[in-house]
């Protein structure tokens, strides 16, 4: 009779079930948390890049060839890096085009590309190129 009671009690023993549920759910929860963190970083870097390019556009507009300190491609790239502390200079590529030159009434086009690196290689995804560009007319 004791063996029959032990067999009858097998289905009602809940010891250890919480540990098994935790082991099944926790990796999924951590993966979702990691994805949200990376998405937040991507949005932050994209927003920082766009804002820095916008500020560089304003800088280029008022620093034409008639200005006491005319804007150059190098000075615009330095301005982008200074405008955003979140951008790494090694991952940033800036292309500045003056059409036809840096005089008032000319166009300045700023294209910036940022090579976004993921924090870990947990998900095997290639790096993402974030881009921002603008075209404006030089005022001075």
Segment 100-140, tens digit of pLDDT = 999 999 999 999 999 998 887 776 778 899 999 999 999 98
Q: Would 36 be classed as within a structural domain? A: yes
Q: Would 77 be classed as within a structural domain? A: yes
Helix (H) or strand (E) segment spanning residue 4: helix 2-8
How many domains does the structure of the chain reveal?
1
Sign, Cα dihedral of 130, 61, 96, 104: positive
Q: Would 102 be classed as within a structural domain? A: yes
pLDDT for 116: 93
Contacts of residue 53, defined as CB under 8 A and 6 or more positions apart, other chains included, come to: 80, 110, 112, 132, 133, 134
Q: Would 3 be classed as within a structural domain? A: no
- DSSP classification of residue 84: -
Q: What is the pLDDT of residues 30-54, one digit of tens each?
A: 989 998 999 999 999 999 999 999 9
| Domain encompassing residue 65 | 10-137
**CB of 113 closer than 8 Å to CB of 129:** yes
Q: Would 2 be classed as within a structural domain? A: no
Q: Which of 116, 47, 112, 101 is nearest to 77 (CA)?
A: 112
Q: Would 105 be classed as within a structural domain? A: yes
Would you tell me how many other CB atoms lie within 10 Å of the CB of residue 63?
22
Q: What is the pLDDT of residues 50-64, one digit of tens each?
A: 999 999 999 999 999
**CB of 61 closer than 8 Å to CB of 108:** yes
Q: What is the pLDDT of residues 75-89, one digit of tens each?
A: 999 999 999 888 999
pTM (2 d.p.): 0.82
Q: Which of 116, 140, 112 is nearest to 55 (CA)?
A: 112
């Amino acid at each position: 009779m004791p063996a029959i009671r032990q067999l009858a009690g097998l289905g009602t023993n809940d010891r250890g079930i919480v540990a098994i549920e935790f082991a099944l759910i926790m990796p999924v929860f951590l993966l979702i948390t990691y994805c949200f963190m990376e998405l937040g970083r991507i949005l932050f870097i994209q927003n920082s890049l766009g804002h820095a390019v916008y500020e560089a556009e304003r800088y280029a507009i008022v620093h034409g060839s008639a200005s006491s300190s005319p804007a150059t491609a190098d000075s615009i790239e330095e301005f982008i890096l200074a405008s955003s502390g979140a951008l790494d200079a090694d991952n940033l590529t800036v292309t500045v085009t003056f059409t036809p030159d840096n005089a008032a009434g000319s166009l300045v086009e700023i294209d910036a590309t940022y090579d976004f690196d993921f924090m870990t290689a947990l998900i095997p995804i290639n790096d993402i190129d974030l881009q921002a560009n603008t075209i404006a007319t030089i005022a001075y």
